[in-house]
């Protein structure tokens, strides 16, 4: 409880207005006459009586009491559940535990063949402190991220300060060094009991894998990809590790298993390792063909995710919108004043990696004001059809009878719309965007002088500019970059030196030799490695964020975020709009469009993005929630992180690691509309 009270005290911007602290004054001593002894005795008796009376009176209920009771109930519930979890036997009568894929495949005779390299994604890798400020005393080499997260409650502002990077360089702030935790423990569990890679690692171990042929390529996920090499030599160490595993395992090629943002991180690595120094690793044009057997991308964010837009714009997502819809005042209470989202924005806008996840390809991929590849998408995901193609990667066997029903027109191309009506009206009714006419600062209305310290870049915007941004305007994947450059100029200027989000006209143009293009599959070529295979493994059947309805924040206070998702914006029953968020099919984080398009079209066959015709496979996993609490997070989940425990996915990874090809494990397996969407996209191949 002491930690909770410290957390409250540190997070408050100003003390709770309803709490009044009594002032303790020194009692005045009055001159008494000679008979003052009796008067003193009477005064003491009166004080004692008043004291006893005050004790009997019921103490006034305050806001802090309610907070402590709520937190107490939550903690007690967690403790009880943890006690039951550790007390119950591993198996209960009548509830048989299904055999793990590793155990079953070992019985079939599967043994390790190819070394395996695991590449974690954003936020799932642990970070530890190597040097810090005085407030971080006693935390040397202790985890600040990925672990118990106890420091959030003990010293939250200190914790955020140490997780933030330098806003100018995107590297370490002076006097602070936070580094990635090395080894398999870096990302096996995100928090106690919450697995990420642990289940897959365990199943690999059951068929014989161990430290000599399995490696976790941990890196600092906050940095831009090239900065992981500049500061930590992470790419060089990964190159050396793959070469060592190749030599010490009988010259067997490596199977690489990246997850989420780790997918585009490894895409950057493949271009880096074959590029000449000093910008590249100097491995030569045949390095990937020599060392890599297959890349099994799990939950790949190849073309970005719309939720990265809302993160940068307002530090929000569907979860925050849902909380506001349920209780609009919980995050904006005048009593609490935690300003959690402002603190999150202040730290996350120093992380260049978030910009790598912004939508790539512009309007040609994500749609414009009137069109999107998901046009006709049904939000009733239970009615989706099933498609399985043969192992020869032929994807022309489509279900022509599939029916798409839409209750109301959805214009998914408008990733940000201010107002529900704006997200639906025809494009001629929308005003044009012209950020050149908007003043970035206005001395008459600039709040930085009255607010003191600038918390976010919104404090540097004039109120007039903020108001004009919202006037019945919608922003697509193309125009939202102008919007983000206006509201977050420092972050975008710094990060766009490391990332690009367009489509290349001519991939032979020398400018694409720069590292800023290497993580964008639409602006770089795959290596010349005709024997290599690329898999896209992802879940489907879960509503996933695609676009947002925004509004102005009701508060005009200093140090506040002026925009928020409109949680009151809902569609009709069965609509794709809920709590201000439009949903499409995906894995809860990455839409199908981003996860599957490159393997469905961009890299399918011999194209300008895939000059050697590397074989590509799509393996989708239909989401099935756990049947009971005993299944934990589910063994058939398609959710972005929970899919790492999906038995079908684990079996696919184990079989390929043991030597199987994509054709041998069944080729493409498709449940979603990715093939239909890919046909609607005009992408020069």
Active site positions, annotated: 260, 587, 640
Q: What is the DSSP string of 42-111?
A: HHHHHHHHHHHHHHHSPPPP-HHHHHHHHHHHHHHHHHHHHHHHHHS-SSBTTBPPPPPHHHHHHHTT--
Q: How far apart are CA 185 and CA 242, in angstroms?
A: 19
Nearest to 430 by CA among 473, 475, 367, 483: 473
Helices (H), 533-602: 592-597
Q: How far apart are CA 116 and CA 180, in angstroms?
A: 20
Q: How far apart are CA 33 and CA 383, in angstroms?
A: 95
Provide the 10 A C-beta neighbour count for residue 29.
6
**What order of strands is seen across the sheet that includes strand 292-298?**
214-216, 116-119, 254-258, 292-298, 533-540, 615-622, 669-670, 387-388
DSSP 22: P
Torsion angles phi and psi, residue 74, rounded to 5: -65, -45
Q: How far apart are CA 177 and CA 346, in angstroms?
A: 18
Q: How far apart are CA 103 and CA 113, in angstroms?
A: 17
3-state helix/strand/coil string of 261-279: HHHHHHHHHHHHHHCCCCC
Torsion angles phi and psi, residue 679, rounded to 5: -70, -25
Radius of gyration of the chain (CA): 28
Please report, for the chain, how many H helices and E strands are present, in that order. Answer: 23, 19
Residue 2's contacts (CB-CB under 8 Å, 6 or more residues apart) are none
Q: How far is CA 642 from CA 105, 156, 373, 486, 650, in A?
A: 21, 28, 27, 36, 12
CA torsion, ordered 464, 548, 374, 574, to nearest 10 deg: -140
Q: How far apart are CA 233 and CA 227, in angstroms?
A: 9
Is residue 416 within 8 A of residue 313, CB to CB? The reply is: yes
| Terminal Cα-to-Cα distance of the chain (whole angstroms) | 61
Mapped onto helix, strand or coil, the DSSP state of residue 247 is helix
Q: How far apart are CA 171 and CA 350, in angstroms?
A: 9
Is residue 525 within 8 A of residue 507, CB to CB? The reply is: yes
Nearest to 576 by CA among 318, 275, 344: 318
Q: How far apart are CA 294 and CA 611, in angstroms?
A: 17
Q: How far apart are CA 107 and CA 570, in angstroms?
A: 52
Is residue 356 within 8 A of residue 225, CB to CB? The reply is: yes
Residue 96's contacts (CB-CB under 8 Å, 6 or more residues apart) are none
Nearest to 663 by CA among 612, 615, 604: 615
């Amino acid at each position: 409880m002491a930690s909770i009270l410290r957390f409250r005290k540190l997070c408050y911007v100003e003390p709770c207005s309803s709490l009044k602290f009594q002032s303790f004054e020194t009692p005045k001593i009055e001159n008494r006459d000679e008979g003052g002894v009796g008067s003193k005795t009477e005064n003491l008796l009166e004080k004692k009586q008043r004291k006893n009376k005050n004790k009997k009176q019921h103490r006034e209920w305050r806001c802090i009491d309610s907070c402590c009771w709520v937190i107490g109930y939550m903690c007690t519930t967690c403790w009880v559940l943890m006690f039951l979890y550790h007390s119950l036997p591993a198996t209960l009568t009548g509830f048989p535990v299904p055999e793990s894929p590793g155990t079953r495949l070992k019985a079939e005779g599967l043994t390790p063949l190819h070394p395996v390299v695991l590449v974690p994604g954003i936020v799932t890798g642990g970070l530890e402190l190597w040097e810090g400020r005085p407030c971080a005393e006693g935390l040397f080499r202790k985890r600040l991220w990925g672990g118990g997260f106890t420091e959030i409650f003990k010293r939250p502002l200190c914790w955020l300060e140490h997780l933030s990077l330098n806003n100018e360089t995107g590297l370490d702030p002076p006097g602070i060094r936070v580094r990635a935790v090395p080894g398999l423990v870096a990302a096996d569990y995100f928090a106690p009991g919450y697995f990420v890679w642990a289940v897959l690692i365990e199943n690999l171990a059951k068929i014989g894998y161990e430290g000599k042929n399995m490696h976790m390529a941990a890196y600092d996920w906050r940095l831009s990809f090239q900065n992981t090499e500049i500061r930590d030599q992470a790419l060089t160490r990964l190159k050396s590790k793959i070469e060592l595993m190749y030599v010490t395992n009988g010259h067997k090629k490596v199977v690489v298993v990246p997850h989420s943002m780790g997918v585009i991180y490894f895409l950057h690595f493949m271009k880096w390792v074959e590029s000449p120094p000093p910008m590249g690793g100097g491995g030569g044009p045949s390095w990937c063909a020599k060392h890599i057997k297959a890349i099994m991308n799990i939950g790949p964010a190849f073309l970005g995710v719309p939720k990265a837009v809302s993160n940068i714009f307002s530090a929000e997502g569907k979860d925050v919108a849902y909380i506001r819809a349920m209780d609009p005042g919980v995050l904006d209470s005048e009593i609490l004043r935690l300003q959690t989202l402002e603190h999150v924005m202040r730290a996350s806008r120093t992380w260049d990696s978030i910009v790598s996840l912004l939508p790539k390809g512009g309007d040609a991929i994500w749609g414009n004001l009137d069109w999107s590849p998901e046009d006709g998408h049904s939000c009733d995901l239970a009615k989706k059809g099933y498609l399985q193609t043969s192992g020869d990667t032929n994807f022309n066997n489509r279900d022509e009878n599939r029916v798409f029903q839409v209750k109301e027109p959805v214009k998914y191309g408008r990733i940000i719309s201010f107002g529900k009506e704006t997200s639906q009206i025809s494009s001629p009714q929308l005003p044009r965007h012209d950020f050149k006419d908007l003043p970035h600062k206005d001395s008459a209305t600039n709040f930085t002088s009255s607010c003191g310290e600038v918390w976010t870049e919104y404090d540097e915007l004039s109120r007039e500019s903020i108001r004009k941004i919202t006037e019945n305007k919608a922003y697509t994947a193309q125009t939202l970059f102008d919007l983000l450059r206006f509201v977050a100029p420092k972050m975008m200027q710094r990060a766009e030196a490391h990332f690009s989000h367009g489509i290349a006209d001519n991939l032979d143009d020398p400018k694409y030799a720069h590292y800023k293009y290497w993580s964008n599959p639409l602006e770089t070529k795959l290596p010349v490695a005709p024997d290599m295979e690329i898999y896209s493994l992802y879940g489907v059947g879960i509503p996933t964020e695609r676009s947002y309805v925004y509004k102005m924040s009701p508060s005009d206070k200093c140090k506040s975020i002026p925009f928020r998702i409109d949680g009151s914006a809902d569609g009709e029953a069965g609509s794709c709009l809920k709590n201000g968020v439009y949903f499409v099919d995906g894995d809860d984080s990455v839409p199908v469009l981003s996860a599957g398009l490159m393997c469905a079209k961009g890299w399918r066959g011999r194209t300008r993005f895939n000059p050697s015709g590397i074989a590509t496979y799509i393996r989708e996993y239909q989401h099935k929630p756990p049947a009971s609490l005993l299944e934990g997070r589910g063994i058939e989940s398609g959710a972005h992180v929970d899919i790492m425990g999906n038995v079908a996915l684990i079996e696919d990874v184990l079989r390929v690691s043991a030597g199987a090809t994509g054709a041998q494990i069944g080729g493409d397996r498709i449940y979603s509309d990715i093939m239909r969407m890919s046909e609607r996209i005009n992408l020069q191949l």
